[in-house]
């Protein structure tokens, strides 16, 4: 099978782009990145920090770069592009937001609700993405609340590094859901309160 040089070059660009965003998160949050330099591992790790990234001044750049990488990958794979779910729900009716494809195969700048057909311009869409990221950062399993360390750090005004250290020392319960680490909310709140403070 012949090597598709353009696809290989694009895969290299994808890897470099994701690595640069992982590096930004690590540097600005004083964290260690994933041990493996595998694109799927890096992407999963980056997704676990999405709530923080969506608050970062460069959040629009991240969205644009990821969309461009995805569009180019689809074009290189010579697949017919179909409208895709845009990763958030409509504020008005709760319907799924959809990113439509233009006649020349490019994504439209706005997204549209599949139910009420309201169009979201990029700034409102970013708000919907932020809401979806915060929702994804919290789950209830077996009657207990779990959240990502990043979202709890934001909520409690606490360092994410501290919360992760509690998790690594098994001072708070944790579990992986979809490859992302979640910590038990009640455990973290107990340790965060002055009576439980021993960090």
* Phi, psi torsion values for 102, nearest 5 degrees: -75, 170
* pLDDT tier at 179, thresholds 50, 70, 90: confident
For residues 2 and 70, state if they share a domain.
yes
Q: List pLDDT tens digits, range 112-163.
A: 999 999 999 888 888 888 888 888 888 999 999 999 998 899 889 899 999 9
In the DSSP assignment, the letter for residue 92 is T
Confidence at residue 42, expressed as pLDDT on a 0 to 100 scale: 93
Total tally of structural domains belonging to the chain = 3
Which of 179, 169, 182, 180 lies closest to 191 in space, CA to CA?
169
| The pLDDT of residue 198 is above 70 | no
CA distance 197 to 195: 6
For residues 130 and 175, state if they share a domain.
no
Is residue 98 within 8 Å of 111, Cβ to Cβ? Answer: yes
* pLDDT tier at 3, thresholds 50, 70, 90: low
For residues 131 and 144, state if they share a domain.
no
Q: List pLDDT tens digits, range 13-57.
A: 999 999 999 999 999 999 999 988 889 899 989 988 988 888 888
For residues 132 and 163, state if they share a domain.
no
CA distance 59 to 175: 28
| Share above pLDDT 70 across residues of the chain, in percent, rounded to a whole number | 92
Q: Dihedral (C-alpha) 116, 121, 124, 126: value to the nearest 10 degrees?
A: 110
Domain span including residue 183:
137-193
For residues 89 and 144, state if they share a domain.
no
CA distances (Å), 136 to each of 5, 24, 133, 150, in order?
37, 22, 5, 12
Q: Is residue 88 part of a domain?
A: yes
Q: Is residue 199 part of a domain?
A: no
For residues 56 and 108, state if they share a domain.
no
For residues 23 and 73, state if they share a domain.
yes
For residues 103 and 131, state if they share a domain.
yes
CA distance 23 to 92: 36
**CA 128-131-132 angle, 5° bins:** 85
Distant-in-sequence, close-in-space partners of 158: CB < 8 Å, separation ≥ 6: 152, 192
Is residue 196 within 8 Å of 153, Cβ to Cβ? Answer: no
């Amino acid at each position: 099978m012949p090597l598709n040089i353009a696809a290989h070059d694009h895969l290299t660009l994808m890897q470099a782009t994701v690595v640069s965003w992982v590096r930004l998160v690590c540097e600005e949050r004083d964290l260690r990145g994933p041990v493996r330099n595998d694109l799927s591992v890096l992407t999963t790790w980056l997704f676990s920090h999405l709530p923080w990234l969506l608050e970062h001044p460069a959040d629009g750049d991240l969205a644009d770069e990821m969309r461009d990488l995805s569009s180019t990958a689809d074009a290189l794979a010579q697949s017919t592009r179909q409208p895709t779910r845009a990763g958030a729900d409509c504020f008005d009716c709760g319907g799924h937001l959809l990113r439509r494809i233009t006649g020349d195969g490019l994504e439209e700048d706005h997204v549209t609700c599949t139910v009420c057909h309201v169009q979201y311009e990029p700034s409102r869409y970013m708000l919907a993405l932020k809401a979806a990221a915060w929702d994804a950062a919290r789950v209830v399993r077996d009657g207990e609340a779990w959240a990502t360390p990043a979202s709890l750090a934001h909520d409690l005004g606490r360092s994410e590094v501290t919360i992760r250290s509690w998790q690594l020392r098994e001072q708070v319960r944790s579990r992986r859901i979809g490859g992302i680490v979640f910590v038990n909310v009640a455990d973290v709140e107990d340790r965060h309160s002055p009576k439980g403070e021993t960090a």
